[in-house]
Amino acid sequence: MNAPLKVGLLGLGTVGLGMIKVLALNGGEIKRRLGREIVVTDASARDLARPRNVDLGGIRLHADPMAVVNAEVDVIVELIGGISPARELVLAALERGKPVVTANKALLAERGAEIFAAAKRCGVQLAYEAAVGGGIPIIKTLREGLAANVIDSVAGIINGTSNYILTQMAVRGQGFADALADAQKLGYAEADPTFDVEGVDAAHKLSILAAIAFGIPLRFDAVATEGIGQVTAEDIRLAHELGYRIKPLGLAKRAADGFELRVHPTLVPADHLLAKTDGALNAIRVLGNAVGQTLYVGRGAGGEATASAVIADLVDVARLQGLDHSRLVPQLGYAEAAGGEVRVLRFAEIESAYYLRMRVADEPGVLRAITSILAEFDISIEAILQKEPRDHDDALLAIITAPVPEHRCDAALARMLQLPFVRTGASRLRVEHFE
């Protein structure tokens, strides 16, 4: 019989414990697939004394994570997160010829060049399915399943916390602050929610998706990012009436003069599957020039769902361990680097449809003045909605524009805000139609 694959596990948080649980529960089925057992022999955690609701019997526990890297294990699973000490531990494992499976999107997005180069130099596998989309095998899909395609775009709900908050705002009519506080109480959002609600986490994931979709370098630094904190319950209601839902999207697109990498709250047509992905689910739409539109939906977080991806990587690693790199799927999906300069567009250079919302005095001539400004800036109107709420003297005006460069939209909006009957506090969100 084949010897078990011995795993050294760094980090006993949600995903680490989820992995131990799933291996205990599904060990037999996994062995039937792989022909070999997967066993966690060594693990480390910051606080070994902390009570854990999972049986760790048989696992050697270490306070020092480097002791796990140095233990007699076949592969290292890194679930510590963050840049340091994860970076040092991963590099040390690679140097010692140990393959690494990681869920660490921050590390890969921000230090991927260094990490992937080390893996290549050392001739060792580095797998990261769990870094994006939780249990959805989106990395495998992009690197392998859709390998025949020129990928035109990837658009995804890739941060469950933001999606949960916007969904709660829609369902319960809550404001952002209340929905965030509830999400924190329920454990869906961290005490410091910045990474999630400001779009940093989504930008990490998007830069990885874009790299493997287009064969471009990791460009986390260049992702154009806006958080969801600007979205109001009123925006969600108006979007609804206009036939849209507001979703936290990561978008990576091939454009005429470069690549668009952006993360922002987005109006999505209500009948699109992305609009119907609610709660903490993730959904990723990939448009390939041969396959057309494809969509992948599943839990984007959670211990056992993410462990599903980690263990799938372990199965792949076990099968291919020790093979020449030419036998492996290239780390970022491409054997050959992109030729020429890879330009990532700034927000100001991106063309998009927009949703504009403002409060206006309820008097004649308002619509005419607003539409004149739009015409002057050569901005077509796709839809317009004026409402006179019962609890307010002013009217609400919401406009969906045709695609237009951001600077022109902003210039037009600035002009509108100078009109005497337009109140302060306008909102401007992007709209995506997915032809």
For residues 271 and 376, which CB has a smaller minimum distance to a copy of itself in the complex?
271
Question: Cα-flanking dihedrals φ and ψ of residue 300, to 5°?
Answer: -90, -5
326 binds a copy of itself (CB under 8 A): yes
∠ Cα 362 365 367 (to 5°): 80
For residues 16 and 288, which CB has a smaller minimum distance to a copy of itself in the complex?
288
User: What stretches of 71-150 adopt beta strand conformation (E)?
Assistant: 75-78, 100-102, 126-127
Catalytic residue among 98, 105, 140, 205: 205
Name the burial class of residue 326, with classes exposed (0-12), middle (13-18) and buried (19+) by CB atoms within 10 angstroms of its CB: exposed
Q: Is 31 a catalytic residue?
A: no
Peptide bond just before 265 cis, omega within 30 deg: no
How far apart (Å, rounded) are the C-alpha atoms in residues 299 and 408? 38
323 binds a copy of itself (CB under 8 A): yes
Q: In this chain, which of 85, 145, 175, 405 binds a copy of itself, going by CB under 8 A?
A: 145
Sequence-ordered list of residues with C-beta below 8 angstroms from that of 93, at least 6 positions apart, any chain: 69, 76, 78, 99, 100
Q: Which x/- pattern, by CB under 8 A, does the window 261-280 give for a copy of itself?
A: ----------x-x--x----
Residue 9 structure tokens: 């596990």
How many residues interact with a copy of itself (rule CB under 8 A)?
A: 66
329 binds a copy of itself (CB under 8 A): yes
Beta bridge partners of 10: 44, 78
Q: Map the footprint of a copy of itself across residues 5-44, applying CB under 8 A.
A: 18, 22, 25-26, 29-36
- Estimate the share of the chain in helix, then strand, then coil, as percent rounded to the nearest 5: 40, 25, 35
Minimum distance of a copy of itself from residue 336's CB (angstroms): 4
Q: In this chain, which of 85, 175, 229, 302 binds a copy of itself, going by CB under 8 A?
A: 302
Q: In this chain, which of 40, 94, 297, 404 binds a copy of itself, going by CB under 8 A?
A: 297
The site for a copy of itself (CB under 8 A) is made up of: 18, 22, 25-26, 29-36, 129, 134-137, 140-141, 144-150, 215, 271, 273, 276, 288-299, 302, 304-305, 307-312, 315-316, 319-320, 323, 326-330, 333-336, 338
- Give me the active site residues, please: 205
